[in-house]
Amino acid sequence: MLKDNPFDHSLKTHMLSGNLKGRYACSLTHELRIIFKLTEDTIHLLNIGNHDDVY
């Protein structure tokens, strides 16, 4: 789903701020998060883990 539409409502994708400005986060489960960066046609996965580990 992330590959097809990183802004699908079920992923709860949101832009980050602070030291993660310019990156996005989405939720796979209640605890599991993905931090990623978008370029023209690529999703760069930067970190995957629970909420406390990725932030």
Evaluate whether 27 touches 12 at the Cβ level (below 8 Å): yes
Instruction: Report the percentage of the chain scoring pLDDT > 70.
Output: 100
Indicate if the pLDDT at residue 43 is higher than 90.
Answer: yes
DSSP calls for 15-30: E--GGGTT-EEEESSS
Evaluate whether 25 touches 18 at the Cβ level (below 8 Å): no
Reading the block at residue 25, the tokens are 């986060």
pLDDT value at position 1? 86
- Of the pLDDT bands very low, low, confident and very high (cuts 50, 70, 90), residue 48 is very high
Average pLDDT over residues 14-43: 95
Average pLDDT over residues 14-37: 95
pTM for the model stands at 0.89
